[in-house]
Amino acid sequence: MQLHPRFFGRNLRENIVSKLMKDVEGTCSGRHGFVVAITGIENIGKGLIRDGTGFVTFPVKYQCVVFRPFKGEILEAVVTMVNKMGFFAEAGPVQIFVSNHLIPDDMEFQSGDMPNYTTSDGSVKIQKDSEVRLKIIGTRVDATEIFCIGTIKDDFLGVINDPANA
């Protein structure tokens, strides 16, 4: 954690913590996933003055809540876009794509101004803003984003709350 000298003084510790929160919360690291919230500071080490700038680097150990989906995990997500290739859903910051190979065969794509996947009897419908329960079958964690591939072609997966019927 690099800090400008103007933050030094009585509130040094508070300043370090608030800067840490500002810088880290909401970011994504490839190793740990999304940092949701910092829960505690373990220790703040000795500062090291950078040559020439006056900035001081403090090593900070902290605990935080992270979110990182794993392969095989069951997630609940909100559908953001439906098209003929499948649908995209979001679980917090995670982007999930469910291709139409992984949507049950009895669900068919219906185009129109509200594209959706519907069963032949019309009882189940997946459209924008539907909530679905899906299984993650692949993840990729970038520096800033997490992409997932999901499936709803399994028992107990699919729509859990349809805004159209609510």
Binding site for another protein (CB under 8 A): 71, 81, 83-86, 88, 95, 97, 99, 101-102, 109-111, 113, 115, 136-140, 142, 145, 147-149
* Residue 107 CB, nearest approach to another protein (Å): 13
- The burial of 40, by beta-carbon neighbours within 10 Å (0-12 exposed, 13-18 middle, 19 or more buried), is given as exposed
Query: Among residues 76 and 145, whose Cβ is nearest to another protein?
Result: 145
* Residue 70 CB, nearest approach to another protein (Å): 12
Query: Among residues 23 and 108, whose Cβ is nearest to another protein?
Result: 108
User: What does 23-54 look like in DSSP terms, one character per residue?
Assistant: HHTT-EETTTEEEEEEEEEEEE---EEPTTT-
Query: Among residues 20 and 135, whose Cβ is nearest to another protein?
Result: 135
**Could you give the 3-state DSSP secondary structure of residue 157?**
coil
The structure tokens listed for 7 are: 């933050």
